[in-house]
Each structure stands twice: as C-alpha cells, then as structure tokens.
Amino acid sequence: DAGVIQSPRHEVTEMGQEVTLRCKPISGHNSLFWYRQTMMRGLELLIYFNNNVPIDDSGMPEDRFSAKMPNASFSTLKIQPSEPRDSAVYFCASTLTGTHTEAFFGQGTRLTVV
Amino acid sequence: DQQVKQNSPSLSVQEGRISILNCDYTNSMFDYFLWYKKYPAEGPTFLISISSIKDKNEDGRFTVFLNKSAKHLSLHIVPSQPGDSAVYFCAASEGNNDMRFGAGTRLTVKP
C-alpha cells in the first residue's frame, strides 16, 4: 500500500477562491481524520469520519470549511471562500478503529492564500 | 479546548544525554496514548504508544511513561542522537477514535 495520499502537495490561491484538498486513505482503514497544523495549536483536529460518516466536526473553524467522504477511499476538505488566515499545512490521516493502532498520516498539503 | 497539552515548545539537549518530553491531558476517558515524530515537509510518523492499562512501554532508545493519576505522560530518549532532532507530538484517543494532538515540542540534539 502506498500509504495515505494527499493532493495537491502545495496550493497557492487568491483570497476568496475555493480550495479543495483531497485524501486517499489506506485501503481497509475505516477512520479518516483531517488536521491543520499551526504554530500555536500544533495538530488541530478539524473533523473525523468513521465508516464514511462524519462523527465529530466540532473542530471545523467556520462554515467556510466543509468535508465529505463519499466512499471509503476518498475524502475532500473544501474551503470556500478562502482567506489568508487559512494558510497552513493540512494533514489527512487514517486508521482502523477499535484496534488501538496508530494513525498513518499523509505528507500534507501546504496551503497559501494570498 | 486543548485536551492534550505540551507546554514546552522547544527542548535542546546534548548528544548522548537523555531527552525528556512531557505531555498532559485533561480527558480521563482517554485510554490510548501515542507519540509521533515529524520532520520538516513530511507527515508525522508514529514512534511509540502506550495503553492506559500500562505505565511504561519501551522500544529501544525510546520509553514512554504514563501517570494516570496525574494525567501525564512523558517520552524519554536515551541516548539522544542528532537524528532525533524533530518536532514531537503527543496524542491521545478514546477507543482509537477522535485522536487529539498537542501543540508539539521541537527537540534539537546538538552534536
């Protein structure tokens, strides 16, 4: 397995534009997490899915953020409209729930909103 | 609501000495704790974990200690090596759900 795959690796966009980040979890994993890395809060959990269903989205900062998981092998995190303060590295991770095993992370998407 | 806290943003130690990274948590329902290591431009990678039924887990140079009454865990690296220089994140979960991370501690090991 190639691990968790995120795309794009880097995204530069203008303020007000829509941004879509993509994630392919490890095959067989049933939980998927979206994190945002900031200096102040470290890895901040935005939302997590279990069996494609959003379980906890309390970390989503604003209504401008939305996430979907239409099937077990794909998830998106969308920001519309984007703002400069959204600039950060966004990570996706997946794991198998209930097994007390570690979550595996993708390499992240570095988002810059200018 | 920071349920997992790493109060030291950075730590610098000499090669060969012990590195001790600390982590506190507030949610008593957490039953699984992990440490991740992160290099620049890479995703975090798993380092070591401990279940709440244990108070110590060792893997080579890395040992994690858990003090449930104090809601505190620590990672010991002995001996520290320059290649250990990275950001270390503490994480906690309840039943492998909802994995929460701390803000991270940047470890620098000087040759």
The model's pLDDT over B17-39, given as tens digits with 9 standing for 90+, comes to 999 999 999 999 999 999 999 99
The Cα–Cα gap between B79 and B90 comes to: 20
Residue B101: strand pairing partners: B91
Contacts of A35 in chain B (CB under 8 A): 101
pLDDT at A14: 97
| CB atoms near residue A24 (< 10 Å) | 18
The Cα–Cα gap between B48 and A58 comes to: 28
Contacts of B34 in chain A (CB under 8 A): 102
The Cα–Cα gap between A42 and A52 comes to: 25
pLDDT at B96: 57
Q: What is the pLDDT of residues B1-17, one digit of tens each?
A: 679 999 999 999 999 99
State the average pLDDT for chain A: 92
Contacts of A56 in chain B (CB under 8 A): 98
Q: What is the pLDDT of residues A50-100, one digit of tens each?
A: 999 998 898 898 899 999 999 999 999 999 999 999 999 999 999 987 667
The residue in chain B having the minimum alpha-carbon distance to the alpha carbon of residue A48 is B98
Flag whether pLDDT at A36 surpasses 70.
yes
Flag whether pLDDT at A41 surpasses 90.
no
Structure tokens at B109: 């090991």
Q: Residue A100 is nearest to which of B51, B100, B104, comparing CB atoms?
A: B51
Q: What is the pLDDT of residues B75-108, one digit of tens each?
A: 999 999 999 999 999 999 887 567 889 999 999 9
* Cβ atoms of residues A69 and A75 within 8 Å: yes
Angstrom distances, CA of residue A88 to CA of A83, B24, B103: 11, 25, 14
Residue B57: strand pairing partners: B64
- Number of continuous H segments (helices) and E segments (strands) in chain A: 0, 11
